[in-house]
Amino acid sequence: MQSIFQITIEDYLEVIKRAKANGKVAGDDMSEEFSEYIQEKKIKSCGSTELTKEEYIKELVSHDKNVLSIEVDKKGNTSYNIAKKLDKQQE
């Protein structure tokens, strides 16, 4: 079971800052810093799921939600993907 958290861009940037301070580079796992940050800020989970990330995004999109996914690879290259439901004219 995976917990789901709703955070701000400022929260995300702070987690990255802490990960860099711990010697991590782009693409490294930041789950330790993330866990510490949400506990420190007392950010509560807004839900949990047994779905994979891809399955969860598909589920959200099927309910007319838009999802921004930010991925950073080991070389530091960043890619942005927007998942949204297309209306019949766009399909």
H helix runs in 6-83, sequence order = 9-21, 31-40, 53-62
Give every residue of the chain whose pLDDT is below 70, as ranges: 87-91
Domain boundaries, the chain: 1-50, 52-91
What is the pLDDT at residue 89?
52
Angle 38-43-48 (CA atoms, 0-180°, nearest 5)? Answer: 95
What digits encode the pLDDT tens for the residues 1-22?
888 888 999 999 999 999 999 9
